[in-house]
Chains A and B, each alone.
Chain A
């Protein structure tokens, strides 16, 4: 049976706060069929480049296509894994080093589906969603375009 889910907006301006993550967890306490949550958080590293250390990443996107791709990834993951719910948030705009830019939150009755789905979703996001990132380096406003490996 195909479950269709309403597309949800993924992009949030700036960093995703730890409070936002905590509030999301709290909202699931009423769903008593859930036995496992898996949460993936992507955080901005201060990589060292020739020009200096990375101070943040400025994200941009082909937003309409990106939102549609996120929706397809969601539907795909719901059909592959036995999940109760799924939330994906990604930053747009500037995210400073040490802050969170990606929040993937999957919930299921048992741990295995949650573990596997979270990894699958993150890998899909990295390869399929048209999001671009400028790694800002050093104090002089220099930058390098980031590329997922």
Chain B
């Protein structure tokens, strides 16, 4: 399965792109995905961010559904 990942703010600067298609596997958790992203972009390890799955904030244990839209969200700064 493939998942679409969106990067925002400082995280897009680290990945060098606003979005990418990422190879996922069945029953992949948010934590599994993060580990793969840390391999690819070591600088992400240092950063604070939340993960949204189909526009809802998720936690590490959540399973990523196939063809999900995943967004990596750095600290919020609205207001």
8 Å CB contact of A125 from B6, B74, B75, B79 = B79
**Residues of B contacting A128 in the complex (Cβ-Cβ under 8 angstroms):** 76
Which residues of A101-149 have CB atoms within 8 Å of chain B's CB atoms? 101-102, 122, 125-134, 145-148
B10, B71, B77: most-surrounded residue (chain A CB, <10 A): B77
8 Å CB contact of B79 from A60, A68, A101 = A101
Given the complex of chains A and B, what is the CA–CA distance between A63 and B3 in angstroms?
19
Q: Could you tell me how many residues of chain B have their Cβ less than 8 Å away from some Cβ of chain A?
A: 14
* CB-based contact B74/A62 at 8 Å: no
The answer to whether A130 and B75 touch (CB under 8 A), given A60-B9, A64-B55, A145-B9, is: no
CB distance from A65 to the nearest CB of B (A): 4
* A90 in the interface (beta carbon within 8 A): yes
**Residues of B contacting A102 in the complex (Cβ-Cβ under 8 angstroms):** 78-79
Q: Could you tell me how many residues of chain A have their Cβ less than 8 Å away from some Cβ of chain B?
A: 28
Q: Which residues of A contact B (CB under 8 A)?
A: 42, 57, 59-62, 64-66, 68, 90, 101-102, 122, 125-134, 145-148
Instruction: For the complex of A and B, list the 8 residue pairs with the smallest distance between their C-beta atoms, beginning with the closest.
Output: A131-B78, A133-B77, A132-B9, A146-B77, A147-B75, A65-B55, A129-B78, A145-B10
Apart from A60-B8, A102-B79, what 16 extra A-B contacts exist at CB < 8 Å?
A: A62-B8, A90-B78, A125-B78, A126-B78, A128-B76, A130-B8, A132-B8, A132-B10, A132-B74, A132-B76, A132-B77, A134-B9, A145-B9, A145-B10, A147-B75, A148-B78
